[in-house]
Structure 1
Amino acid sequence: MGGERKLYTLVEVSEHNNPKDCWLVIAGKVYDVSKFLDDHPGGEDVLLSATGKDATDDFEDVGHSSSARAMMEEFYVGDIDSSTIPAKVKYTPPKQPHYNQDKTAEFTIKLLQFLVPLLILGLAVGIRFYAKSA
């Protein structure tokens, strides 16, 4: 890694996206992992799916060992021009209609106005039949 570091754009890195030529961007560095595809414990598809983007989060989410991190140095080819990586957009959930608690309360009251008299009627009929059979 001596001398001047090569600076790549994301477009340049994303052109290396096949099993014979696979480059990844992790933590601001560019790695040529083409020779490692067959040996990667997660399989080559995992690495190939991480091309053309900043794969730092994917790499960190897996929880790679310190030996895996040390191994990365042999695949290092340069740095990424961070201005070419699109900014992450914060997820904003879609607007949903406001929950109207009054309508729920209104429905509950109507349901109880129907069920309570039925319960009283059922109880009265049950007591009457119980009293006749006793």
Structure 2
Amino acid sequence: MGGEGKVFTLAEVSEHNSREDCWLIIDGKVYDVTKFLDDHPGGDEVLISATGKDATDDFEDVGHSTSARAMLDEYYVGNIDSSTIPTKKNYTPPKQPRYNQDKTPEFIIKLLQFLVPLIILGAAFGIRFYTKQSS
């Protein structure tokens, strides 16, 4: 493994983003995969598109084999200074008002949710009382 102990910044690694010079960051390590571009089963564009960022998720999402992971050793050039990689932020959707398709004011809905069951209950007792009086 060449380059042991060498530490690169994200800016330094990002400069290597072409077909003639392609470096990737995977699991905190920097790999020069330029010689592998022609042999990569997914094509060279997949690797080139993963430059300039931490490509660990891209690498893991594909589900590379054990032999593919072992091949990384021959392309190793150093480590990444993790303080130069921006932290990932979780997406938080913006707060939005509840959607009311028919635009009925909310207090009317709450009122009806209370009154309708009472009306049904009253109707049931009324029918029962009426049928007992009729018999």
Query: TM bucket by the smaller chain?
Result: 0.7 to 0.9
Runs of 4+ in 1 over 6 A off after TM superposition: none
Aligned positions of 1:43-62 closer than 5 A: 43-62=43-62
Unaligned runs of 5+ residues in structure 1 are 110-134
Deviation digits for residues 43-70 of structure 1 (CA, Å, limit 9, x no counterpart) = 0000000000000000000000000000
2:79 alignment partner, SS class: strand
Give the CA RMSD over aligned residues.
Answer: 2.3
TM-score of the aligned structures, taking structure 2 as reference length = 0.72
For 1:86, the equivalent position in structure 2 comes to 86
SS of the counterpart of 1:38? coil
Amino acid at match of 2:76: Y
Aligned length: 107
Matched with 2:9 is: 9
Identity fraction in percent:
74
With normalisation by structure 1, the TM-score equals 0.73
Q: How does 1:118-133 map to 2 (within 5 A)?
A: none
- For 2:74, what is the secondary structure of its paired residue? helix
Q: Name 2:131's counterpart in structure 1.
A: none
SS at match of 1:58: helix
Structure 1 residues 63-72 or 94-103, which shifts more? 94-103
Question: What SS does structure 2 have at the residue aligned with 1:39?
Answer: coil
Cα distance, 1:4 vs structure 2 = 4.9
**What is the SS of the residue equivalent to 1:22?**
strand
Name the residue aligned to 1:71.
71
Contact 2:2 2:77 in 1 (8 A): no
Gaps of 5+ in 2: 113-135
As a proportion of its length, which structure holds more helix?
1
